[in-house]
Amino acid sequence: MELIIVDNYQELSERAAMLIVAEVEAKPRAVLGLATGSTPEGMYAELVKLNSEGKVDFSGITTFNLDEYAGLAPEHEQSYYYYMRHHLFNQVKIRAEQINMPSCDLENVDQFCFEYDQRIAAAGGIDLQVLGIGGNGHIGFNEPGDQLRVPTHLVDLTEDTILANSRFFSSVEAVPKQAVTMGLGSIMLANKIILLAAGKAKAEAITRTVSGLITTSVPASILQLHRDVTIIVDREAAGLLS
């Protein structure tokens, strides 16, 4: 794992955007795995800026998002589809048919999940996967527990996650209790992974992610087995590293 400690959020966003631009330059038809949440917002802003300056072209890429809340329609302002349109898809030239989002629809969800992984494989696999990390060590919505699931699946969100994400909703009760997420197998099959973390609420999770131990209580710790992971953290998120 390569660990890059930066001074602030702006630098984190620029470094992450640079890695994506390099990937798309090297492979204009790159398959990108994309993350939502507050952490990558600055990275998307940077990508939109670089695109408007003609420094990167997204017209050939294919995207697969990591996760989506169950039951939130694509038009819902807190759905991850809405987020992606707002932060990237509506701001750059990218072909709609090349955008892949997990379904928010609970009908036939198992079949959807199976087909989502098949779609990733049919696209040639993910070249570069962007990840955030939960304060509880989750990646995507792969929550800590006794077991971790390999394929894309429907997951019950933990109380920690519901509480953390309630800042985006009118109340804790309004946060969906389930989500569809890529599994750890789907994530680990990506050629390259970048994980972003900012703020001291992520410091313990980051420390446990790079600790040399793998535990299902910190799902991100499995990334230690991946051969090409770059972790970009600000000073606060790096604050507990020795």
Q: Which residues bind ligand PGA (CB under 6 A)?
A: 37-39, 132-134, 138
Phi, psi of 68 (to 5 degrees): -155, 145
Contact present, 182 and 132 (Cβ < 8 Å) = no
Is 191 a catalytic site residue?
Answer: no
Is 226 a catalytic site residue?
Answer: no
Read off the amino acid at residue 48. V
Is 11 a catalytic site residue?
Answer: no
Read off the amino acid at residue 167. R
Q: Give the nearest residue (CB) to ligand PGA.
A: 37
- Strand stretches in 26-158, DSSP E: 31-34, 62-65, 67-69, 99-100, 128-131, 153-156
Per the residue annotation, which of 143, 165, 191, 234 is the catalytic one? 143
Minimum CB separation from ligand PGA for residue 80, in Å? Answer: 11
Read off the amino acid at residue 113. C
Minimum CB separation from ligand PGA for residue 98, in Å? Answer: 24
Which lies closer to ligand PGA via its Cβ, residue 51 or residue 142?
142
Is 67 a catalytic site residue?
Answer: yes
Per the residue annotation, which of 46, 65, 87, 136 is the catalytic one? 136
- Token readout for 105 is 């629809």
Per the residue annotation, which of 68, 117, 138, 234 is the catalytic one? 138
Minimum CB separation from ligand PGA for residue 128, in Å? Answer: 17
Minimum CB separation from ligand PGA for residue 209, in Å? Answer: 12
Nearest to 38 by CA among 103, 134, 172, 126: 134
Which lies closer to ligand PGA via its Cβ, residue 132 or residue 183?
132
Nearest to 182 by CA among 122, 124, 233, 112: 112
| Catalytic sites, residue numbers | 67, 136, 138, 143
